Amino acid sequence: MQVLLLGTAAGGGFPQWNCACRMCTAGLPARTQDCVAISADGAGWYLINASPDIRTQILSAPALAAGPGPRDTPVRGALLTDAELDHTLGLAMLREGAGLQVWAPPAVLHALGTDFPLQGIVSRYGSWDWRPIPETFPIDGLSVTVFPVSGKKPKYVRSTADGPWVVAYKITDPSGGSVVYAPCLKTWPDGFDELIEDATCVILDGTFYSPDEMSGATNKGVGSGAQRAMGHIPIAGPDGSLARIARHPGKRWIYTHLNNTNPILDPASREYEEVLAAGAEAPLDGTLITV
């Protein structure tokens, strides 16, 4: 199985267009908004989430290049972890792709049919197959396991549909290799340790390094309370994800969905040295992982 990190930044990307904070003006490598592509054979690819940067991401990835026919594409469809705009807007950019398949939690599909009627918009350009996710299902030789994460809704949603609104995915190939993709973790949920126990690689929510990171990173008066409400477990601290990594040796740990305030964006930072020392990493866009 191949896993391609198309984008590794949180919503807004890095640097953000409207931000002149220390990190955004440091001249560090740019990152597009979080999205990955998976393939069992390197021929057919499925996106997990579809960021607003999806066109640039696809054109930057030779494996996703169109062909051999004039309208052929190796992109077969997408799995959505949630209904956030930075994870769904890219579907509109793929509207010319006839016959794409989209899997998502029922609540997410409901939101994309009502609060933000993306399904109806796309259907005017071509026929897509929108599927609610079961607990497990196959896609092109891969087995997908769904793990409910939280009931956090996007700000635009007014729907009262039952959750979960956020899920993680575990994708396993016939050889037994597996990758867990969890870019949005509000906490370290019950059962998550069991989900990742035999995983080869875990791609994990790395939005914020510390619990109060945004308090001093901008001049917008964003406090730690507002940060916690965004629904992302911090990397550091007694309740952070880094402390959990040591309990699961022998697998590859990757942080993704990095906010523009996160100091591990700087590979020379003390914070990134701590991440590396714990056995994790935060690779750049375009990184290919073979599982």
* Number of separate domains in the chain: 1
Q: What pLDDT score was predicted for residue 209?
A: 97
CB–CB of 1/290 below 8 Å? yes
**What CATH number is attached to the domain comprising 273?**
3.60.15.10
* Contact in structure between 255 and 264 (CB atoms under 8 Å): yes
Residues of the chain with pLDDT under 70: 216-226, 228
Q: How far apart are CA 96 and CA 228, in angstroms?
A: 38
Residue 219's pLDDT is 47
The predicted model scores a pTM of: 0.94
Task: Compute CA distances 24 → 16, 80, 266, 289, whole Å.
Answer: 7, 28, 11, 27
Position 154 scores a pLDDT of 95
The residue range of the domain holding 57 is 2-290
Residues 121-127: contacts with CB under 8 Å, at least 24 apart: 121/92, 121/95, 122/91, 122/92, 122/95, 125/95, 125/96, 126/95, 126/96, 126/97, 126/98, 126/99, 126/100, 127/98, 127/99
Nearest-CA neighbor of 48 among 118, 135, 146?
146
- HSE-CB at 256 with a 13 A cutoff on CA atoms is 27
